[in-house]
Structure 1
Amino acid sequence: MSASDLPGSDQRLLTPGAIAALVALAVGALCMVLAPYMPWLVKFPAEWALPASRWIDVVLTWFLNLIKPAARAFSHALAYPMDWAQALLLGTPWPLLIALVTALGWHVGGWKLATLSIVGLGFVVASGYWVESMNTLSLVAVSVPLALLLGGATGILANEVPRVKSAVQTVMDVMQTVPTFAYLTPLLLLFGFGPVVGLIASAIYAAPPMARNVILGLERIETDIKEAAIMSGGSRMQQLFLVEIPSATTQIMVGVNQCLMAALSMVIIAAVIGGFDDIGWEVLLTMRKAQFGAALLAGLVIVAFAIVIDRISSRMAHERERHDGRVTLGIIAVGGALAVLAWLYLPAAGRLTLLVPVADWVDGALSAFVRANGSALDAIKNGAMFYGLLPLRIGLDGAVLPFTWGFQWTGGMSAAFLAVAALLGAGLAATGRLAAGLMLVIAAGVIETGIAELPWPFVLVGAGAIGWVAGGRKLALFSVLMLTAVLLSGLWGKALWSLYLSGAAVLTCAVLGGAIGLVCALSPLAWRIVQPICDMLQTIPLFVFLIPVLMFFQIGEFSAFLAIILYAIVPMIRYTRHGLVTTPPELIEAAVSSGATTWQTMREVRAPYAAPTILLGLNQTILYAFAMLVIAALIGTTGLGQSIFLALGQADVGLGITAGACMAILALVADRLVQGFAAERRRVLGL
């Protein structure tokens, strides 16, 4: 008689998830027991780490110095088109430039887009930042064609040479996961300090979205079109440029839109290394001086540009209808007439500071509000830190202190806490949910210890176990090897700190964004309210998210936490709502006909079917959180982001590349794990 034949035995308890959780729990428990005797199980010895930063610094510095003359010549050449673009934009009368953009808005989108254009650019004029804004646009005007050329050529190469396609996609994954600041240090060594460096950084950052959309567009061309091009007798180049690329125009234009937005989101980052009199530099300068009214005004100028550019380029990508050309010419003519009047009677655009008193009023009102409500704001910040973030970072035994919680956490409390978790886990296991019970015990251990204090063997084994459940041996091996590289880099402690803060933000986004997405799926009215907010948040450059949190909570970890949530929550809302509303009608009808209530239908039918889509939203939220984590290092956080900024200030190429690579590895591992679970759910659903 086999074990499975015994009464009450149930092999289904030992699911892959239960086995993985059991292994991780055993390793964690062993580390806790042995830690007093083997402290290296908790803190990886510094002498065991490889001097990766020094090696990279030596090799890259030698290589960069070797190619520096050619790079400086290229930088010098790029300065000319940037100067020309700057002269053209500043030399064009502002009413005429506004009219040209408004005419384009009318031509592609009608009166709504024309109104948006004139209101958005009118706001820029009234802000007094017209000159700085044109300097910014001159950078975008040169970096975007460069990115389009680089990304388009890369996409075509990947399509034409299948053997390099996988390598190209891997490089693009790395480019989009490595923090932007990580490759600013080598760019500074190569091209020197100045606006052209920001231009090149923007082009590098904006090229991957273009390449991805070119690849996607060429892949989606119908077979009939390709066969017709072949039968026509044209050469391969003729087929590609006369048939296939025109057929993929819609998808390629989506890439142009994303390229524009990526370049615009880089303007403040470019200001860090460019020292350029543009709107990004104005945001940085006013933030450093704590002039939050002026910083908010300058940030809103970037938002206005982002919204106008996004809406016009999106409409050009998706809409084929074009509006009356006579109205287009009329708008341009009116703009020309107003330009003459402005030249004769009105002051220059840079001197129209109509909104500066508003910025001053915001500063005064903000100061008064903070003085009046400082204790309440401090209570919110301290409450979130002492009772939420700090225990997650260093554990209950380190965070629960008399001056915060009113009592001291003791070893007996730890034992009792873990014992209660074990009893609850045993209860879940008794109901047939062994994996859930084990995960509850693991979660309790993590909370008691703290994410930043976790033993490194437990983290490696835990990541491998999750990878094994999500995607099998290959994903498990990939996860372990990648995290081992971080461990050996000497930046393990900073990596765990970054993992803690991004993990806390992602968890908050998952709960809050998932709830908002659920409400929007149930209520069309709620979605009509939330959708424009999500649209606006997705067009705001990363740096601008720092301004409102600094206004109320000053520099610190809590402000960084809020900024990450503001930036990363949108994908969770959108994908949750989209997954829930796209459930096949026949499944919903079957549930309703069987007598299920709305919530039963949501829980038993819609949510399981939407799981792959929701997991994709979680994946995007994770990547957004890591992207914002580096920017948040500007406002007082530590971890890998701080190392990247230190490397930039010290021109330490090795540290910058190593810290950036570690950040990319964390994002890449999280990305692959979530994708693995999403693929498994799609397989179960037969999608």
Structure 2
Amino acid sequence: MSHASAASSRHTRFPTLTQGAKAALVTLMIGAVCLALEPVAPWLVKWPAAWTVPATDWVGTVLGALFEALKPVARLFSDLMRYPMEWANMALTLTPWPLIIGAVTALGWILGGVPMAVMGLAGLSFVLASGYWVESMNTLALVAVSVPLALIVGMTLGIAANEFPRIKGALQVVLDVMQTVPTFAYLTPLLLLFGFGPVVGLIASAIYAAPPMARNVMLGLERIDPEIKEAAVMSGGTRAQQLFQVEIPSASTQIMVGVNQCLMAALSMVIIAAVIGGFNDIGWEVLLTMRKAQFGQSLLAGFVIVVFAVVIDRMSGVLAADRRHRYDPRVAWAILGLALAFTAAFWTRLPDPATFTLLSPLAEGIDTGLTRFTQANGAWLDGFKNGAMFYVLLPLRIGLDEAVLPFTWGFAWTPAMSLWLFAASAAIATLMVLRNHITGAALFMIAVGVLETGVANLPWPFVLTAVAALGSVAGGRRLAILSVGLLLTILVSGLWERALLSIYLSGAAVFACAVVGGAIGLLSAVSPLVWKIVRPICDMLQTIPLFVFLIPMLMFFQIGEFSAFLAICAYAIVPMIRYTRHGLVTTPPEMLEGAVASGATEWQTLRDVRAPYAAPTILLGLNQTILYAFAMLVIAALIGTTGLGQSIYLALGQADVGLGISAGAAMAILAFIADRLVQGFAEDRRAALGL
């Protein structure tokens, strides 16, 4: 045998390990060592309490002292903000309802003609018929005051980043933190600073809604054609004139996208802030009726929020369009005139909006129908919920060795079963290695180990090693070190077990969204008819505030982890559907023509051409799904989750700023790491495709 053939044979038997294979094998080895040494070194699995740093107490002490110093200024600002709040409340609640409906209808005509006018008229009429007119106007008053505040702050930050490039990087980090910190985490320090009441909701909404505005202002100013900037400079104007008379108008389309996102974020946060707002707004009605298990009324109040979200989204979205049709303003004036004439004609006999209860029978019918449905199908619903919990979620959470019990599975899991499971898995992994699927074999063994042990019981060295391995593959050594360093802060702060519980539930929801959402996105890409059906559903789901997702889950499955899981899936699945479809339908025509010319079937084209090209876009969809899942995880604490979300909610009820900030920071760290890892893999795929 020649030297060349011998070298070739050795290469075939012992293939070179890729970076991913090395990372997976190291992770597998660390996990196996930890589990093997658990009887003699239990600290390898459970972080010892003696090694925990009282970071929560430290944070509470420092921030408590800081807030005490800032409280006089904060309370003064709160008192000042009460005036515009009261003015907006008076303006909206004292204005006769026909005039408000007429004004919204006229605005709809100006923005979008007949369809938009009809939408505004129908939407506000639904709000009136629901009996929640006053509560809705109070909510709109909060939005009306918080949005201008958020727009001013966001606009200022965006312009500052454009004018002073040195602060741009730091500002990006601040915006990332503001958007990854859970919404409830905002409320605890604000409650201590500004006190209990609607002003807290106003300020929380402004803080939450400012980052989208800032990002879009920065993006719009960055994308201005250099020729436009040069023309502004050559005209001899000052820097302020160039900015406000040339650049900002040129970026107006992107800035209006920011206004749209700012409005939606403010509306969503106003509903969440109702938890501590405690005044007569629609968010408080949703929360109150949910607590009383009046699901018909809760769903009706939730639909009112959805109506506002849809109307605001569609009308503000028109402002972001590049080209907009001009409609005759005389029609809008005519609509306003009719509303004014109607109000004047029936001024003394104009019904109080609180007396409109046209939809109350619908709410009662929902409660009655729900009662009958649950009585008739309660066994099936409980069986479905218990099956999902006992056979899927619980094993994933605490492992087969703890979840398989006579009460749940009909038998008890034994150590011998674990040995047989690992032996069978090792045999399958060996076959994969013989076929040169080394990375897949290692990942398969890791997955089996996680299932047997449970996410909540994973050894901390294994988790740190796994994150370091993912970071090194996705973004290199720097990302690996950063990710491990951030996780260590959670580990030593005593929040590790709660963090693992959050990873378990959000991870399960993300996996379900990836499978189901990916399949729906695939069907939507290959079938225009399916997309016509799916698209309006996705549009509706993206405009529904987070709070409302909890209502139908409570209606059918009551309080519990399964209801929280479904709520997270319902909120987080939309990005996966949209990005999967978009990635598959945007394959360059020349690539498709080449596949057809080579004789590939439609399935082969989809598998070998479209899917690889769409991979970066699909990964971005997965990234958004992960962030959505973490955002919803905290809201789902209202209906029975455990982990960091529950800690944040408990901290809010106890006004424990240390626990609230620490748990919120831990949640933000998990979201930040997941975001950077997925973005790293997406960038790697783009580079591989030459994009």
Deviations 1:470-517 (CA, angstroms, capped at 9, x unpaired): 111011111111111110110100000000000000000000000000
Q: Determine helix, strand or coil for the equivalent of 2:9.
A: coil
Match for 1:300 among 299, 303, 313? 303
State how far apart, in whole Å, the 1-side matches of 2:15 and 2:341 are.
Answer: 79
Q: Which amino acid aligns with 1:686?
A: G
Q: Determine helix, strand or coil for the equivalent of 2:320.
A: helix
Q: Answer yes or no: is 1:581 the counterpart of 2:581.
A: no
- Listed as ranges, the matches of 1:504-653 within 5 Å are 504-653=508-657
Instruction: State the partner residue of 2:472.
Output: 468
Instruction: State the partner residue of 2:483.
Output: 479
- Listed as ranges, the matches of 1:34-53 within 5 Å are 34-53=37-56
Instruction: State the partner residue of 1:238.
Output: 241
Instruction: State the partner residue of 2:28.
Output: 25
Match for 2:158 among 155, 158, 164? 155
State how far apart, in whole Å, the 2-side matches of 1:345 and 1:271 are.
Answer: 34
State how far apart, in whole Å, the 2-side matches of 1:260 and 1:347 are.
Answer: 31
Match for 2:316 among 301, 313, 317? 313
- Listed as ranges, the matches of 1:7-26 within 5 Å are 7-10=9-12, 13-26=16-29
Q: Answer yes or no: is 1:218 the counterpart of 2:221.
A: yes
Instruction: State the partner residue of 1:77.
Output: 80
- Structure 2 portions without partners, runs of 5+: none
- Structure 1 177/639 Cα, relative in aligned 2: closer, same or farther at 3 Å? same
Deviations 1:548-594 (CA, angstroms, capped at 9, x unpaired): 00000000000000000000000000000000000001101111111
Indicate if the aligned counterparts of 1:213 and 1:251 stay in contact, CA closer than 8 A: yes
State how far apart, in whole Å, the 2-side matches of 1:423 and 1:616 are.
Answer: 35
Q: Determine helix, strand or coil for the equivalent of 1:9.
A: helix
Deviations 1:10-43 (CA, angstroms, capped at 9, x unpaired): 5754011100000000100000110110111111
Q: Which moved more, 1:110-119 or 1:257-266?
A: 110-119
Indicate if the aligned counterparts of 1:206 and 1:259 stay in contact, CA closer than 8 A: yes
State how far apart, in whole Å, the 2-side matches of 1:526 and 1:182 are.
Answer: 39
Instruction: State the partner residue of 1:424.
Output: 428
Cα shift at 1:103:
1.0
- Listed as ranges, the matches of 1:285-434 within 5 Å are 285-318=288-321, 319-434=323-438
Indicate if the aligned counterparts of 1:55 and 1:654 stay in contact, CA closer than 8 A: yes
Indicate if the aligned counterparts of 1:13 and 1:434 stay in contact, CA closer than 8 A: no
State how far apart, in whole Å, the 2-side matches of 1:3 and 1:324 are.
Answer: 82
Indicate if the aligned counterparts of 2:128 and 2:356 stay in contact, CA closer than 8 A: yes
Cα shift at 1:2:
11
State how far apart, in whole Å, the 1-side matches of 2:502 and 2:391 are.
Answer: 19
Cα shift at 1:300:
0.3
Q: Which amino acid aligns with 1:173?
A: D
State how far apart, in whole Å, the 2-side matches of 1:515 and 1:13 are.
Answer: 35
Cα shift at 1:392:
0.3
Indicate if the aligned counterparts of 2:89 and 2:138 stay in contact, CA closer than 8 A: yes
Deviations 1:425-480 (CA, angstroms, capped at 9, x unpaired): 12112112110111001101000100010000000000000110111101111111
Q: Answer yes or no: is 1:255 the counterpart of 2:258.
A: yes
Instruction: State the partner residue of 2:462.
Output: 458
State how far apart, in whole Å, the 1-side matches of 2:19 and 2:470 are.
Answer: 10
State how far apart, in whole Å, the 1-side matches of 2:674 and 2:384 are.
Answer: 30
Instruction: State the partner residue of 1:175.
Output: 178
Indicate if the aligned counterparts of 2:575 and 2:625 stay in contact, CA closer than 8 A: yes
Q: Which moved more, 1:444-453 or 1:95-104?
A: 95-104
Indicate if the aligned counterparts of 2:343 and 2:350 stay in contact, CA closer than 8 A: no
- Structure 1 552/4 Cα, relative in aligned 2: closer, same or farther at 3 Å? farther
Q: Which amino acid aligns with 1:612?
A: P
State how far apart, in whole Å, the 1-side matches of 2:470 and 2:640 are.
Answer: 32
State how far apart, in whole Å, the 1-side matches of 2:178 and 2:60 are.
Answer: 19
Cα shift at 1:537:
0.3
Cα shift at 1:268:
2.2
- Structure 1 434/232 Cα, relative in aligned 2: closer, same or farther at 3 Å? same
Instruction: State the partner residue of 1:207.
Output: 210
Number of residue equivalences: 687
Q: Answer yes or no: is 1:109 the counterpart of 2:112.
A: yes
Indicate if the aligned counterparts of 1:268 and 1:284 stay in contact, CA closer than 8 A: no
Deviations 1:599-654 (CA, angstroms, capped at 9, x unpaired): 11100000000000000000000000000000000101110011111111111111
Q: Determine helix, strand or coil for the equivalent of 2:411.
A: coil
Q: Determine helix, strand or coil for the equivalent of 1:31.
A: helix
State how far apart, in whole Å, the 1-side matches of 2:116 and 2:41 are.
Answer: 66
Deviations 1:122-180 (CA, angstroms, capped at 9, x unpaired): 10000000000000000000000000001110011111111110110100101111111
Deviations 1:79-110 (CA, angstroms, capped at 9, x unpaired): 00010001011121111111111111111111
Q: Determine helix, strand or coil for the equivalent of 1:464.
A: helix
Q: Answer yes or no: is 1:499 the counterpart of 2:513.
A: no
Indicate if the aligned counterparts of 1:616 and 1:678 stay in contact, CA closer than 8 A: yes
Deviations 1:209-240 (CA, angstroms, capped at 9, x unpaired): 00000000000000000000011111111111
Aligned residues: CA RMSD: 1.2
State how far apart, in whole Å, the 1-side matches of 2:606 and 2:344 are.
Answer: 62
Cα shift at 1:345:
2.9
State how far apart, in whole Å, the 2-side matches of 1:145 and 1:661 are.
Answer: 28
Deviations 1:370-401 (CA, angstroms, capped at 9, x unpaired): 11110000001000000000000001111111
Q: Which amino acid aligns with 1:316?
A: L
Q: Which amino acid aligns with 1:257?
A: N
State how far apart, in whole Å, the 2-side matches of 1:501 and 1:4 are.
Answer: 51
The two structures have a TM-score, normalised by structure 2, of 0.98
State how far apart, in whole Å, the 1-side matches of 2:515 and 2:618 are.
Answer: 12
Q: Which moved more, 1:270-279 or 1:564-573?
A: 270-279
Cα shift at 1:4:
9.4
State how far apart, in whole Å, the 1-side matches of 2:237 and 2:377 are.
Answer: 73
